[in-house]
Amino acid sequence: HPAQYEHLIVSVPQPGVQLIELNRPKALNALNSALISEINLATAAADRDGSIGAIVLTGSTSRAFAAGADIKEMKDKTFAEAYSEDFIANWNDLTRIRKPVLAAVNGYALGGGCELAMMADIIYAGDKAVFGQPEIKLGVIPGAGGTQRLPKLVGKVRATELILTGRNFSAVEAEKWGLVARIFPAEQLVDEVVKVAQEIAGYGGLAVKAAKESINEGLLVSLDEGLKYERKLFHGLFSTKDKVEGMTAFVEKRQASFKGE
Ligand code: HXC
């Protein structure tokens, strides 16, 4: 329910699509604890909601997806406090969402903003998007996956250069390196990503969830184990009504109607 969120705007722009807009525009959507908690609540709610098939995460204005973790909130935090509360551990909750999460990045995706985008399953960028991991300039390092996910996505050498210099990079670079799936004109970005999300939502939840799960599992294990995992999920899908419907529709030369069953 939208009213429960202070820093988010949550809507259903098309059937099956949960749009979650970060809405702390005065701080360029800096990610404080309250905002992260709300993202976790809203994505978990969308994950449970049977009418939702895909989630789109974006900023509420074209200036910023998110300009990073909230520096003002971190400035006076001590090691003892950070360690005892396990500061930012809950950021990873987003990676436990089983439905696809699509990030639509307009404007700044810096530091924790870039890391949040990398927790999504697919990143799309507006043509004026600016990415970066500038933490080195604050005397720290990326703490929410930047040193882990960026090398996997763009390669170790490139990621090391970006993280050690803190330099920003453009949507065009991000796309060239494989961090971003596609670039759209900034003003069309959210509509275009919602269209992709709607298409994915139309495939019914089971195969979509299994595909996401198999991809992510494969990134954690050896190729052999990953292939076995994939095959088990593939076999499992032969028990679904969606498999019967999808293959029957093909043979009957009609559009399939998936039910997520
Ligand atoms: C807190 C932030 C912020 C942030 C911007 N603001 N980024 N507040 N934390 N990360 C606030 C500013 O203080 C300012 O508030 C308002 O947003 C507008 O920002 P300006 O700087 O005035 O805008 P502009 O001149 O256009 O510059 C935009 C910017 C710059 C280049 C994005 O704001 C910037 O460099 N921000 C910090 C980027 C960064 O270092 N991010 C990494 C954070 S560390 P006031 O009240 O002054 O108007 C991090 C660690 C992650 O993310 C580790 C794990 C979580």
Report which ligand 1 atom has the smallest distance to the Cα of 144: 54
Mutate to test the pocket of ligand 1, among 32, 33, 71, 116 (most ligand atoms within 8 A of CB): 71
- Tell me the C-alpha to C-alpha distance, in Å, between residue 203 and each of 29, 199, 218, 237, 256: 32, 7, 22, 13, 9
Tell me which of 23, 24, 28 to substitute to probe ligand 1's pocket, judged by most ligand atoms within 8 Å of the beta carbon: 28
Evaluate if pTM is beyond 0.90.
yes
**Residue whose CA is closest, atom 32 of ligand 1?**
67
CA of 250 to the centre of ligand 1 (A): 51
- Cα of 81 vs centre of ligand 1, distance in Å, is 22
Q: Per residue of the chain (261 residues), give pLDDT as tens.
A: 455 899 999 999 999 999 999 999 999 999 999 999 999 999 999 999 999 999 999 998 889 999 999 999 999 999 999 999 999 999 999 999 999 999 999 999 999 999 999 999 999 999 999 999 999 999 999 999 999 999 999 999 999 999 999 999 999 999 999 999 999 999 999 999 999 999 999 998 999 999 999 999 999 999 999 999 999 999 999 999 999 999 999 999 999 999 999
Ligand 1: residue whose CA is nearest its atom 39: 68
Name residues whose C-beta falls within 8 Å of residue 224's C-beta, 6 or more positions apart in sequence. none
Nearest CA owner, ligand 1 atom 43: 68
Q: What is the rounded CA–CA span in Å between residue 64 and residue 58?
A: 9
Please, what is the Cα angle at 63 between 57 and 64, to 5 degrees? 40
Nearest alpha carbon to residue 115 among 82, 90, 92, 138: 92
Q: Which residues line ligand 1 (CB under 6 A)?
A: 27-28, 30, 67-72, 88, 108, 110-112, 134-135, 138, 142-144
* CA 241 to centroid of ligand 1, rounded, Å: 49
- Output the residue whose Cα is nearest ligand 1's atom 51: 112
| Catalytic residue IDs | 69, 112, 115, 135
Whether ipTM > 0.95 holds is yes
Q: In angstroms, rounded to a whole number, what is the distance separating the alpha carbons of residues 115 and 110?
A: 8
Question: pLDDT value at position 60?
Answer: 87
pLDDT number for residue 3: 57
Atom of ligand 1 nearest to the CA of 110: 41
Reduced to 3 states (helix: H, G, I; strand: E, B; else coil), residue 179 is coil
Distance 109 CA to ligand 1 centre (A): 10
pLDDT given for residue 4 in this prediction: 84
* Enclosing H/E stretch for 214: helix 205-218
Ligand 1 centroid to 249 CA: how many Å?
A: 51
